[in-house]
Chains A and B, each alone.
Chain A
Amino acid sequence: MAKMTLEELRNLRASKQKSLQKRSIEGKEGQIIIGMGTCGIAAGAKTVLDAFLSELDAKGITNISVTQTGCMGLCHVEPTVEVVVPNMPDVIYGNVDAKVAKQIVQDHLIDHKLVSDHVFDRPAADIYVKDGDK
């Protein structure tokens, strides 16, 4: 995109705000967000990313995008993965490895079940008011 004017920036923000809220980018219905800070990568987030990509491929799932984000602050359970898909609550999984990634694809995405023992949360997530809520 070329340089923007004030007007264009505001329009872009307005349009992206909606899509970020719904977290549905470019025709995708859901998102797998992998914590790729240094801590996550050191703990194997790259392998997890690859595992998700290949497993989604293998299962023929095309409406889920895999993206990265920074450190979620849950360094003790890295690698962490947030799964945001329709009809399921948003969940953060911790201690994810390639095997758990496969399980998430099968259980969470296909069978609509949470993967026990790997569910974590942003620390006390509902006790602070999220920035966008007010």
Chain B
Amino acid sequence: MAFRNYILVCGGTGCESSRADDIYKNLIAECEAQGVKDEVQIVKTGCFGFCEQGPIVKILPEDSFYVQVKPEDAKELISEHIIKGREVTRLLYNKDKSHKHAQVEEIEFYQKQFRIVLRNCGFIDPEKIDEYIARDGYSALEKVLFDMTPDEIIGELKTSGLRGRGGAGFPTWMKWNFTKMAENDQKFVVCNADEGDPGAYMDRSTLEGDPHTVLEAMTICGKAIGANQGYIYIRAEYPLAIHRLEVAMEQAREYGLLGKDILGSGFDFDIEIRLGAGAFVCGEETALLQSIEGFRGMPQPRPPFPAVKGLWQKPTCINNVETWANIPVIINKGGAWFQKIGTADSHGTKVFALTGKIKNSGLVEVPMGTTLREIVFDVGGGIANGKEFKAVQTGGPSGGVITKENLDTPIDFGGLQKIGSMMGSGGMIVMDEDDCIVDVAKFYLNFTVDESCGKCAPCRIGGRSLLNILEKITNGKGTQRDIDNIHSIGLAMRKGSLCALGQTAPNPILSSLKYFPEEYKAHIEEKRCPAGKCKKLISYSINVDKCIGCTACARKCPVGAISGERKQAHIIDQAACIKCGACLVACKFGAVEVH
């Protein structure tokens, strides 16, 4: 027999620690006591991503979302909800159900996640154009082809307040307007899908999950600015996204939504894919255009901006994948609707890729102005393995760290800049107490030094010098002068580099230096790495009082640096030890110590 109700009890670590298990047991007992055992299935689930309001109990099929449930509430939940079919209002998250369809401002309060860009991701089959169409797909295109003038389209964008999601946050309507105003018989539309920051995969996932939204948006732009050809620049290392784009383009052409005389409107537009080889600098717009033209991807001085002289010297409108994905929704729902979401400085939502030491890594889309605390602790479920939160790096290799003190800063373009980081494309790497801040800065710098195109001396030489300094510091050879040098080299790079890669490369160091001066100091003055990460500054040893001679460590050591008889205290040969830490993990008695 089928069950009448399903009760989902959150079994995530957050809720477990607030007695979710007792709730689970009580619910089972109550079902039995009240005679509905066979009609209800009680299930323990994974984390709902809403730990702050835990423990969470959800009852299906009514979809009632109960929060802060106590074990004592089990009786009432069964007798009221299950038997009498009445929701237990005092425990509901959304107490006033009638408000569910109220205006955006009201609902916003309840929303942690709000999906505009990812509206179709994980919902439709990306390889079926019909499913996209069923979710209002290509209706924005209909609207602009038949009911709107180019100025009205751009006006709608202006009202929406949409700013570019590729990093710089430039108002999208202005970019479109410049390209529209530029007089030329040929113009181009370009989608920047290069996405190469470490830890970022928002754009790739969007293309994989909903390729048509980008195609539709580019066609809309073509109509607005007067272009008939678009290019999607994507790295060859994203084969699935490329495949889905190809399928989508094929289907759109078949339906007459791409190509000549779209929907009989007389407007022609087509798109081609251009593959990149995966150089980070090719994500910079002028380098990207060079790369499409077949040259080496090196940034060019601006002005002239691409909007005036872009691809093959023709006016070109270039936007980021996430920026594109917002466009059809703005056209459909209106700029005014979009404008209400977010903050005064930044409207709409932002997709972040949460990675690092976070419990629920994944893609999140939240309204602008959400705080980092909400993202990390509510949506992300907090730090994995019960460790202490240390910082979050936003903006990838161009950004900086956000520390505990700034957890409540609303995240938008301006807010992040104020605290010395930046929005960037949306990678968020979460660090815990085990991460060494100097080591993290070194990681990012290593990346930018590798990816510098080498055109400008400050970027090429400055980056390398900064990296050398960090090497010195993490090897315990740093001096106070090095800190002064970091500042002056950083300044030179910021002032003297042509593109943002060089200009922002010092950011991770400067910001970590600002927020964690004591950690740099420990490396320099005490020759100590507080997080125990920098290999040259730590040593492993075995505490003879705790070691019981189980040989577990010796068997794990990859270089045979540990010696000792069974049941006798073991010893590490410091000269042979490569500081891999395997013994530390292997020892069950806490005998291996890091200094």
A contacts, CB < 8 Å to B: 1-6, 9-10, 12-13, 16-17, 19-20, 33, 35-39, 41, 67-77, 80, 82, 87-89, 91, 94-95, 112-124, 126-129, 131-134
User: Contacts of A2 on B, CB cut-off 8 Å?
Assistant: 254, 256
User: Contacts of B6 on A, CB cut-off 8 Å?
Assistant: 89, 114
A-B contact pairs, 8 of them (CB 8 A): A9-B133, A16-B133, A68-B125, A69-B122, A70-B209, A71-B209, A117-B11, A123-B50
Known contacts A13-B133, A73-B363, A89-B60; decide if A123 and B379 are in contact (CB<8 Å).
yes
A77, A127, A131: which contacts B112 (Cβ < 8 A)? A127
**B552 adjacent to chain A (CB < 8 Å):** no
**B124 adjacent to chain A (CB < 8 Å):** yes
User: Contacts of B323 on A, CB cut-off 8 Å?
Assistant: none
Contact between B208 and A12, CB atoms less than 8 A apart: no
Q: Is the interface of B mostly helix, strand, loop or mixed?
A: loop
B65, B139, B205: which contacts A13 (Cβ < 8 A)? B139
A73 CA to B133 CA, complexed, in Å: 22
Contact between A128 and B134, CB atoms less than 8 A apart: no
**B576 adjacent to chain A (CB < 8 Å):** no
Contact between A124 and B204, CB atoms less than 8 A apart: no
User: Contacts of B100 on A, CB cut-off 8 Å?
Assistant: 129
A33 CA to B127 CA, complexed, in Å: 13
Highest count of chain B CB atoms <10 Å: which of A75, A91, A119: A119
Known contacts A123-B364, A126-B63; decide if A70 and B210 are in contact (CB<8 Å).
yes
User: Contacts of A126 on B, CB cut-off 8 Å?
Assistant: 63, 65, 94
Contact between B130 and A16, CB atoms less than 8 A apart: yes
User: Contacts of B58 on A, CB cut-off 8 Å?
Assistant: 121
Contact between B209 and A119, CB atoms less than 8 A apart: no
User: Contacts of A95 on B, CB cut-off 8 Å?
Assistant: 46
B contacts, CB < 8 Å to A: 1-3, 6, 8, 11, 41, 43-50, 58, 60-61, 63, 65, 93-94, 100-101, 107, 110-115, 118-127, 130-131, 133-139, 142, 146, 201, 204-206, 208-210, 238, 240-241, 254-257, 259, 261, 263-265, 359-365, 379
Closest 9 CB pairs of A and B: A70-B209, A3-B256, A72-B122, A89-B60, A123-B49, A16-B134, A75-B362, A119-B45, A20-B134
A60 CA to B138 CA, complexed, in Å: 38
Contact between B205 and A70, CB atoms less than 8 A apart: yes
User: Contacts of A131 on B, CB cut-off 8 Å?
Assistant: 115, 119, 135
Contact between B255 and A9, CB atoms less than 8 A apart: yes
User: Contacts of B238 on A, CB cut-off 8 Å?
Assistant: 38
Contact between A112 and B44, CB atoms less than 8 A apart: no
Contact between B131 and A41, CB atoms less than 8 A apart: no
Please, which residue of chain A has its CB at the minimum distance from the CB of B239?
A: A38
A119 CA to B45 CA, complexed, in Å: 5
> In angstroms, how far is the closest chain A Cβ from the Cβ of B531?
24
Q: A-B contact count, CB below 8 Å?
A: 193
A5, A17, A73: which contacts B122 (Cβ < 8 A)? A73
Contact between A37 and B111, CB atoms less than 8 A apart: no
Contact between B135 and A127, CB atoms less than 8 A apart: no
A10, A33, A71, A116: which contacts B44 (Cβ < 8 A)? A116
Contact between B41 and A114, CB atoms less than 8 A apart: yes
Contact between A19 and B101, CB atoms less than 8 A apart: no
> Given contacts A9-B263, A74-B360, A127-B50, could you give 11 more A-B pairs where the C-beta distance is less than 8 Å?
A6-B142, A38-B204, A69-B123, A69-B125, A70-B121, A71-B121, A73-B362, A75-B361, A117-B44, A121-B49, A127-B113
Please, which residue of chain A has its CB at the minimum distance from the CB of B108?
A: A128
Contact between A121 and B3, CB atoms less than 8 A apart: no
User: Contacts of B146 on A, CB cut-off 8 Å?
Assistant: 6
Contact between A132 and B135, CB atoms less than 8 A apart: yes
User: Contacts of B263 on A, CB cut-off 8 Å?
Assistant: 4-6, 9
Contact between B43 and A119, CB atoms less than 8 A apart: yes
Please, which residue of chain B has its CB at the minimum distance from the CB of A111?
A: B2
Please, which residue of chain A has its CB at the minimum distance from the CB of B125?
A: A67
User: Contacts of B256 on A, CB cut-off 8 Å?
Assistant: 2-4
A2 CA to B365 CA, complexed, in Å: 37
A131 CA to B135 CA, complexed, in Å: 9
User: Contacts of B3 on A, CB cut-off 8 Å?
Assistant: 112-113
Please, which residue of chain B has its CB at the minimum distance from the CB of A20?
A: B134
Please, which residue of chain B has its CB at the minimum distance from the CB of A78?
A: B362
User: Contacts of A67 on B, CB cut-off 8 Å?
Assistant: 125
Contact between A121 and B204, CB atoms less than 8 A apart: no
Contact between B48 and A128, CB atoms less than 8 A apart: no
Contact between B65 and A6, CB atoms less than 8 A apart: no
> In angstroms, how far is the closest chain A Cβ from the Cβ of B414?
25
Contact between B101 and A133, CB atoms less than 8 A apart: yes
B46, B107, B362: which contacts A119 (Cβ < 8 A)? B46
Contact between B240 and A37, CB atoms less than 8 A apart: yes
> In angstroms, how far is the closest chain B Cβ from the Cβ of A92?
9
Please, which residue of chain A has its CB at the minimum distance from the CB of B211?
A: A70
Please, which residue of chain A has its CB at the minimum distance from the CB of B240?
A: A38
Contact between A123 and B361, CB atoms less than 8 A apart: no
User: Contacts of A87 on B, CB cut-off 8 Å?
Assistant: 2
Contact between A69 and B264, CB atoms less than 8 A apart: no
Contact between B240 and A41, CB atoms less than 8 A apart: yes
A6 CA to B60 CA, complexed, in Å: 40
User: Contacts of B135 on A, CB cut-off 8 Å?
Assistant: 20, 131-132
> In angstroms, how far is the closest chain A Cβ from the Cβ of B6?
6
> In angstroms, how far is the closest chain A Cβ from the Cβ of B216?
12
> In angstroms, how far is the closest chain A Cβ from the Cβ of B96?
14
User: Contacts of A127 on B, CB cut-off 8 Å?
Assistant: 50, 65, 93-94, 110-113
Please, which residue of chain A has its CB at the minimum distance from the CB of B209?
A: A70
> In angstroms, how far is the closest chain A Cβ from the Cβ of B482?
39
Please, which residue of chain A has its CB at the minimum distance from the CB of B126?
A: A70
